Structure 1
């Protein structure tokens, strides 16, 4: 079956003439005919396989891993793909799955998984940048969405996505589960926050569209990846995390249309290949209590209201938000009934596949309904060259990932994201590079990175400094000519506030820096506050350049900051 399927796919690919920014529904007649023929040539099992995107265990296609035996009944990643023929796989860099080491290793893994499948799977990861980054250095690093929101440059957002796409594709990755299109309208949001560009729908929409263009390219090319706008209908107004519970968003449809919909409209207008659902309840849109992933009224907002006919993929089906009301066997079938096309990371892939097969064979789901999703998935693969493009060049990948010109672009983009919120004492910019800087506060790696750039001393104190750590920092400040205090979650951590106020009492020049959510800046009387929205090395290097006056701050708050000392959207000092 392999050769006929690929031959038809090649014919479908040759029929593609429209730019990648065209909406997925805009399929050339010849392409539609070839794709229909491709689907007709597939067995039901092959079709159902395309509906799933799975995780894997291991870093090599032929690596025997006990996790694969436990979860899939076969030993190696290649055997998992050969057994289930999934429509996609997703890479992670954590202890649970551990697929990522070096660019060369990733490229070899991608090539091996392609060889194992009749139709090459979409190979995906979550390279949002910022706090959700699966592939670290030497891949080029950017500071993440909210930092880009502070930079206010659609051109820079597009450029960052274009660079990320080229490097992902060099490693054989063909789909990025980005950009995050959520409008972070709730400062207490524990799962979105700086993953969002802004609390402003218009700014979020502008930068979402820019990054879709950057990831997917303005025309078809082998240096692009499929973008995925997430998390529909919008996860920005939650105060709980759908990884661990089922959040509720109490918006009416009119409120949703005004606040949450604009970024998804913009992504669709930019031709986004896929949209990811959120495991959230919206009782004023669907009173049944179903999470949006399983809710036809919620997904009708996407299909009917916004007119989207591209691939709809669920967020992970292992998350608690989607598993509270139904069994793991029921969830895939309910998602497909609601309007989803692809099912991401079911807890038990074999159970999920068999549940969909049984639903088709019993008539609960029609095969025609399955065909419609498979056509969308294959159309995406053809548009992005996933089926016909050559394998990753393992020998060239090291030079393609993190070249000097990409790193320089990341530096220039990040320099425009640092926001000066307060400079009441006129401490900044420093008159000269400090000779004895103390960098203390949140983040073991982050404090050491900044101290290294400034040529100073690092004294990390964690997220909840003890009295002994505060005392040690105060003592160390006695030998410093400037003290930089990094905060993360200070508004919810009284111990971080104690650290900062204790250091202010020493009389030393103190620079407070919110290295994640900017909401920290409203919660102490520190006269000098900066916000970076990211604690990665690229942001700490930009921060050092602002502190020493090498570059001036130009970032503007992309969110309104409430609190005892509030700041409006758009606030930012310059010098």
Structure 2
């Protein structure tokens, strides 16, 4: 009997009992339906629910290369059916247009007629967005700077509306990592703040906004990726704090989210020896390594389930990331994760053609063997599948959407990236802009007709966003001449100095993921001009040259605000918390335009730092403290 029939049978049983009792029929409880379904599932069907691959790219038979998988085909449909997959994750390569995405998700669901799929995506807002036609939003750290729970809720609501209209039912967000390491190469502005209380408040509101649209929300990366100096896409990070500190800081936002009913928790490929100091021998180099949280029963079952009381779905971060793949191998990693208490293994094997199907088959068979040998108890598998199906029931996924595809497309075109969403996005970004310095009332710029503005930023899309934003300004400001220059990988020289000579105003965007200036004896060494230091050396050279020539200069920190510390000598410095510029006919984030409007006096910055910014030359000192932000008119600290 198919799963739809099991669902129908379970519903019928409840409804008939209700009728006999003379009471109004009620919808069957998730528990009643789910238990009936799970009891009648084969082992293969259960395993399928616990695996969530991506089909990011696909190479059809007869084609030479894999390209973005954007249109449903029988090959992918066959794999979904053969392995009884419970869900798939989408990436930017899959979601290039609104109508296209709605048709793709509809096709994916048709390939799983018995139990509908989790269709998932990382639409965090800010620098991690996948939808190429959606509302991008300013991102978590911008929300932290705006200090607005309302904006956090609106963010979740907007993301939830847009994803739901497209047929996506799970969002892998929000990140509730507490970013208290300025050198963190992977989280940064994806975090709301370094303050666990602020992270908790904004995280909960984002979750509520998502869930208001019946979108399953996911907190990540448990137990916390904020205080790491290694990107787990490339290596295995470690957090060495003791349990007391971890509970007070890293774990606090997760506990609050669990208490408020978050649907999923995503694991971190990070070592937490305070909770588990078990060691493994790395397949990469034979060295002894500590178990990462993703593969730790003490962390996932002992801490997350038993101590913190999480009863929802645990999903791994992508298992193809080097922190896991290099050290544990494909099959062993999946089995270890499931044994540790994970419900869903995300991206367990790369499959981008029928020729690569064997990768998925190998993982599937490894899990099946672990079950048959008692290594992975069937009771644990049943509990995982119950949790998965309970969430599908809770979010309305088990009841297939019978809306005709043409209606779905029409609705999606009205919802995704609509004017109301863009208006709210603009307001959020403007209120997040944080003014850190404004000596001699450098800002706002008040150019006269015919005066020249020079814009410099690392990448062409950022330069384009700045120049376009200036040209969109109102009134007399539109009459200025604007020129731009992208400086990624370049050294400062006579060509740039000549541009500055001709300019009246200079705006420089700084994009530093992790501060790495040359510092000698507590002083930034500006003589170091090799290309590896371009991210700090070039904008510093522009700053010094422009200010020495009496030009009005402002430094716009476009990513992690910590890079503002490289420009202590600048007279005007601001942080906007987002670096994506203008490309493919659209602004990819609202942050840079919001910064430009502030520079020219069309909006007043209201942001306050959501993190401490330490000095570059003396890291033990705080240059700009948490909560710092200036009023552009009075020059005084915002209250």
The 2-side partners of 1:171 and 1:64 are apart by 28
| Structure 2 counterparts to residues 323-472 of structure 1, below 5 A | 323-347=325-349, 348-390=359-401, 393-432=408-447, 435-455=451-471, 456-468=481-493, 471-472=494-495
Q: Larger C-alpha radius of gyration, 1 or 2?
A: 2
Change (3 A) 1:206 1:60: farther
Provide the secondary structure at the position in 2 that maps to 1:566. Answer: strand
Alignment match, 1:85: 84
Q: Name the CA distance, whole Å, in 1 between partners of 2:77 and 2:416.
A: 25
Between the two proteins, the alignment pairs up a number of residues equal to 548
What is residue 522 of structure 2 aligned with on the other side?
none
C-alpha contact 1:465 1:499 (8 A) present in aligned 2: no
Preserved contact between residue 50 and residue 85 of structure 2 (Cα < 8 Å): yes
Question: What is the deviation of 1:152?
Answer: 0.3
Once the two structures are TM-superposed, the CA of residue 284 in structure 1 deviates from its matched residue by 2.2
Cα distance in 2 for partners of 1:12, 1:556 equals 57
SS of the aligned residue for 1:271 comes to coil
Any idea what SS the aligned residue of 1:186 has?
coil
Paired residue for 1:475?
498
- Residue in structure 2 matched with residue 240 of structure 1 by the alignment: 230
Contact kept in structure 2, 1:201 and 1:260, CA below 8 Å: yes
Q: What residue is the counterpart of 1:510 in the other structure?
A: 553
Deviation at 1:8, TM superposition (A): 5.3
Say which SS state the counterpart of residue 554 (structure 2) adopts: strand
Say if 1:368 and 1:129 are closer, same or farther in 2 by CA, change over 3 A. Answer: same
Query: Structure 1 residues 174 and 572 mapped into 2: Cα distance closer, same or farther (>3 Å)?
Result: same
Q: Which of 299, 314, 324 is the aligned partner of 2:316?
A: 314
Out of 398-407 and 5-14, give the one that drifted further.
5-14
**TM-score calculated relative to the size of structure 2:** 0.81
Give 5+ residue unaligned stretches, structure 1: 16-27, 218-222
- Give the match for residue 39 of structure 1: 38
User: Of residues 557, 565, 576 in structure 2, which corresponds to 1:532?
Assistant: 576
CA–CA distance in structure 2, aligned partners of residues 505 and 80 of structure 1? 64
Match of 1:484 among 507, 513, 529: 507
Match of 1:298 in 2: 299
Q: CA deviation at 1:269?
A: 2.0
Q: Shift of residue 6 of structure 1?
A: 4.5
Please, which moves more after superposition, 54-63 or 115-124?
A: 54-63
Q: Matched residues in 1 for 2:13 and 2:246: separation? A: 38
Alignment of 1:4-83 (within 5 A): 4-7=5-8, 30-57=29-56, 67=66, 76-83=75-82
Residues 1:156 and 2:151 aligned together: yes
SS state at 2:120 partner: strand
Distance of 1:160 and 1:331 partners within structure 2 = 34
The correspondence for 1:101, drawn from 92, 96, 112, is 96
Structure 1's 214 and 59: CA in aligned 2 closer, same or farther, altered over 3 A? farther
Q: Could you say which residue in structure 2 is the equivalent of 1:25?
A: none
Asked if the contact 1:313–1:344 (Cα under 8 Å) also holds between the matched residues in 2, the reply is yes
Q: Show structure 2 runs of 5+ residues with no match.
A: 17-26, 279-289, 350-358, 472-480, 517-532, 581-586, 634-639
Aligned counterparts of 2:142 and 2:90: Cα–Cα separation in 1 = 25
The answer to whether 1:267 aligns with 2:267 is: no
Cα shift readout 1:296-315 (whole Å, capped 9, x = no counterpart) = 11122211221101000000
Q: CA RMSD in A?
A: 2.6
Describe the shift of the 1:14–1:314 C-alpha distance in structure 2 as closer, same or farther (beyond 3 A): farther
After TM superposition, the score normalised by the length of structure 1 is 0.90
- How far off its partner does 1:331 sit? 1.2
CA separation of 1:436 and 1:80: change in aligned 2, threshold 3 A: farther
For 1:545, the equivalent position in structure 2 comes to 597
In structure 2, relative to structure 1, the CA distance for the partners of 1:14 and 1:268 (3 Å cut) is farther
